[in-house]
Structure 1
Amino acid sequence: MPYVCRWGILATGGIAESFAKDLLVDPSTRSVTKIRHTITAAASSSGASRARKFLEDLGVADSASSYGSYEELAQDPNVDIIYVATPHSHHFQNVMLCLEAGRNVLCEKAFTVNAAQTRVLIDKAREKNLFLMEAVWTRYFPLSEYLTDTILNGTIGSVQRVIADLSVPTDPDVANSESLSRIEDPKTAGGALLELGVYPINWCFQAIYNVIPADIRSPPSVKAVIKKYPSGVDETTSMILVFPRPSEYGGDAHAFATCSITPGSRWRETRAPQPSVRILGTKGELELYHPSFRPARTRLMTENGDIVEKTWPHPGPGKGSNWYNWYRDERLAEGEARGMAWQADEAATALSTDQKESSKQSLEESLVIMQVMDEVRRQGDLVYSEELESTAYPLQL
């Protein structure tokens, strides 16, 4: 019998809806047979009626509880794990609430506002013997397994450089007013780095840091420049990361990660799509095509002249199902999943085998990435309010 993972959804915005819709798709569509998912509760800070409407839209209102506070959700004994889908400005407080209540957690990225908060969450999860994972959904794509295998089997040789970008324009023609407010607002820890930069940074880590043995990994050095938006958040951020490695692993590797909320990579409007992630090795190159938050195409080029192109669909109910998933202004093709269930499969598998963190991205790696973003912010003089940066709990934000 498959292990049935009972989920509670904390917050009911767009990302929560997209995740929940994917979560309820039959796992066999993506060749997963040992895990099944069910939603047993949801909570909205706007009230229980909003949570119930969220569950009704998913078709599970009759079998799931709806709550008007996150505290009630955290106390529900019929929940195995809580998916935290609030803005990252509130992650620390929300995750602490769940951990203190004895609940396992999958938390959206960026994990927290700063590394100190991430450290406290990790320590609390270990103190309580609970599962904790950052929802870096791209890390769990089949495409990502292919990326890792391509590097580990030596197809492109030793990785020497990674170039990664995610730039999404936030003008009114492209994004809705709600996202504009959150992304540009320092009161919600807005800006390009924490909203978008987590993607290119993670691709750099996955291609360089994650593929060598844990006992020889070292955090990268960081050089960064930030251009400020009128509101005070970062509009454009550019980073050079130098990963130290022993000579037998190719020596130091360089990574260039960029993100912006104004000059966007308009992949939908580009007639000849360009890669948003390039992984360059001594024997070849692997390219991931726009957008880097959900790449669906790769191109592998090797020194002997071979070129291998692949597409990476996210299976859902399929054509003819009248089933759609979307996020903000992006509606996917009929029957196509967004790809958010792969990370849920990872979390559920860990719970079924009593593991306390992901097998593909450790909590230590999430912490190091937050430390990198701290250093980027320090060099760019990007500081948020004392309340948002605080490790005090509980705080009313």
Structure 2
Amino acid sequence: MAHTIRWGIMATGWIATTFVRDLLKDPKARNAPDISHQITAVASSSSQEKATQFISTLNIPPPCTAYATYTDLVADPNVDVIYVATPHSHHFQNVMLALHAGKHVLCEKAFTVNAAQAKILVETAREKGLFLMEAVWTRFFPLSVQVRDIIQSGEIGEVLRTVADTSFGDDVEGKWGTTHRMVNPDLAGGALLDLGIYSLTWVFQTLYHTLPKSQRKPPTVTSQMTPYHLTGADESTTILLTFPTSTPSNDKPPRMSHGIAMTNIRVSGDPDEQGTSGPNIRIQGTKGEIQVFGYPFRPTKYRVIPKKGVEGAGEVRDVECGFPDGGHGMAWEADEVARCLRDGKVESEGMSWEESIVIMEVMDEVRRQGGLVYPAKIESTEYPLEL
């Protein structure tokens, strides 16, 4: 019998819409017959009417209650887990609200504004025995799982370099102006926290996560940041991460590995949006490489290229990884949450608390090097605090 979990949706923007549409699809279409999702409550901070309209527009089946406040949402006894879909400037306050109400939480990326906030969320979840996970949906794609499996099998040897680029070539002034969340410091805007997290995701899941936990060591960080002249948020950030080990076997003597994580909102990693420019992600090992095609947050194909002359190497192969039933790809992370709750786990091995904190620490250091500071209120670890 399928295990059912009941979701409360916090916020009604684009990301919440996309997440709910995926939850409403048949889990059997993605080979997840053991899981069932129900959406039992939705809250909008602006009005109950907006939450009601969200429920109606998406045809969420009853019973599903509309709330005008997040406090009412987290108090609903018919909700098991809260999906936090608010701007990341508000994640710390919103997740703390849910945890203090005794709710499990799936929180959108970036997890928080800084690592200090992330550590408090983790400690709170641990003390209360509640599940908590950063919603890095890309981690749970079959494509990502397959790529990690190939690395851990040793097929491409020791992985010594991963290059990942998550960039969009937008008319920043015309499209984003000064108030949009992408460029607004009051909402922790900028390329790093919103898009750069995906480049870091690929660096970490190939150079860090593929090692046994006992061998994972944080990288040193060198970075450059270009501020957006109208707001001061970063419009371009490039990060060089040096890991003290290689993966998957941590060769003796240990070899260092490099991750290059790039993000930009003025130039694009895929200018014609047809993939002509090639892969946005390259994972390079001593026996070959893996290339990943499509936007780093939602790739659709990967290619394995064996190194010439390697004994036993196979042929170049392309693997297409589609999205069943027209889904966007967010249901896989929701399935992970459901299985963890079913099995009594408070964190996911696929996106652990420790790894979320290490990545937040990297972004803290990048912001320090770039001189990017957000308003004190959204950097604060005080709770509760009105934003």
Same topology, TM > 0.5: yes
Alignment correspondent of 1:140 = 140
- 1:247-286 to structure 2, matched below 5 A, reads 247-248=251-252, 251-266=255-270, 268-270=272-274, 272-286=276-290
Alignment correspondent of 2:99 = 99
SS in 2 for 1:313: coil
What amino acid is aligned across from residue 30 of structure 1 in structure 2? R
Q: CA deviation at 1:346?
A: 0.3
Check the 8 A contact 1:5/1:36 in 2, yes or no.
Answer: yes
Q: What's the TM-score once normalised by structure 1's chain length?
A: 0.92
Q: CA deviation at 1:273?
A: 4.3
For residues 180 and 266 of structure 1, the distance between their equivalents in structure 2, rounded to whole angstroms, comes to 26
- 1:192-341 to structure 2, matched below 5 A, reads 192-230=191-229, 231-245=231-245, 246-248=250-252, 251-266=255-270, 268-270=272-274, 272-303=276-307, 304=313, 306-316=315-325, 336-341=326-331
Structure 1 pair 124–168 and aligned structure 2 pair: CA distance change class (3 A): same
Check the 8 A contact 1:158/1:249 in 2, yes or no.
Answer: no
Q: CA deviation at 1:216?
A: 1.7
How many pairs align? 377
- 1:351-370 to structure 2, matched below 5 A, reads 351-370=341-360
> What does the per-residue CA deviation read over 1:209-243, in whole Å, with 9 as the maximum and x for residues that have no partner?
00111112111000011111111011110110001
Check the 8 A contact 2:169/2:271 in 1, yes or no.
Answer: no
What amino acid is aligned across from residue 313 of structure 1 in structure 2? G
For residues 4 and 33 of structure 2, the distance between their equivalents in structure 1, rounded to whole angstroms, comes to 11
Q: CA deviation at 1:290?
A: 2.4
Alignment correspondent of 1:390 = 380
Q: CA deviation at 1:178?
A: 9.2
Q: CA deviation at 1:270?
A: 3.9
SS in 1 for 2:126: helix
* Long gaps (5+) in structure 1: 317-335
SS in 1 for 2:40: strand
SS in 2 for 1:275: coil
Check the 8 A contact 1:160/1:250 in 2, yes or no.
Answer: no
> What does the per-residue CA deviation read over 1:101-137, in whole Å, with 9 as the maximum and x for residues that have no partner?
0000000000000000000000000011000000000
- 1:19-98 to structure 2, matched below 5 A, reads 19-60=19-60, 62-98=62-98
For residues 126 and 269 of structure 1, the distance between their equivalents in structure 2, rounded to whole angstroms, comes to 43
Check the 8 A contact 1:83/1:106 in 2, yes or no.
Answer: yes
Structure 1 pair 97–209 and aligned structure 2 pair: CA distance change class (3 A): same
Q: CA deviation at 1:170?
A: 3.6
* Long gaps (5+) in structure 2: 308-312
- 1:86-165 to structure 2, matched below 5 A, reads 86-165=86-165
For residues 101 and 293 of structure 1, the distance between their equivalents in structure 2, rounded to whole angstroms, comes to 31
Superposed CA RMSD in Å reads: 1.7
Q: CA deviation at 1:267?
A: 5.2
Q: CA deviation at 1:308?
A: 0.6
Structure 1 pair 180–337 and aligned structure 2 pair: CA distance change class (3 A): farther
Alignment correspondent of 1:187 = 186
- 1:9-28 to structure 2, matched below 5 A, reads 9-28=9-28
For residues 375 and 71 of structure 1, the distance between their equivalents in structure 2, rounded to whole angstroms, comes to 34
Instruction: Tell which deviates more after alignment, 55-64 or 205-214.
Output: 55-64
Instruction: Tell which deviates more after alignment, 213-222 or 264-273.
Output: 264-273
Structure 1 pair 186–213 and aligned structure 2 pair: CA distance change class (3 A): same
For residues 173 and 114 of structure 1, the distance between their equivalents in structure 2, rounded to whole angstroms, comes to 27
